[in-house]
Amino acid sequence: MKNNNKAKERRASERHPVSNSSAVVLNPNAVISFEVLDICAGGLSFSYNPTGSKALSGQAIMDYLGEEKVFTDIPIEIASDTQISETQPQEGIPHLRRCGVKFSKPMPPDTLNKLLNKE
């Protein structure tokens, strides 16, 4: 039996990389991420340093801060939240985590293009 270590793609639409200057803020969780990993019409993923030991879950409101565009009050649902750093963190600094969120409504193509600075 062959062992396939690749993660299975769960998104229905194409992922797009984003610029390094993108950020998200999740409320009521008060999570701030300065590293958005990718985005698609159905959601996005980002990495963050947690403020507590609990994984994110449930629904939240997200603000997206791009290079030139800001989108606020986007309703989302947490799809996944996993630890991504393998090494022991320095004292007082938690492991880095990766969070995937699903938009409550699919992102319209024109809004997605604005997020990706294609307009």
> Average per-residue pLDDT in the chain?
78
Rank 5-14, 33-42, 48-57 by mean pLDDT and report only the highest. Answer: 33-42
81: pLDDT strictly greater than 80: yes
- pLDDT category of residue 103 using cuts at 50, 70 and 90: very high
Runs of H (alpha helix) within 1-119: 109-115
Q: Which CATH architecture has domain 16-115?
A: Beta Barrel (2.40)
Between CA 61 and CA 68 the distance in angstroms is 20
* Residue 46 confidence (pLDDT) above 50: yes
List, for residues 15-24, the tens digit of each pLDDT value: 877 766 678 8
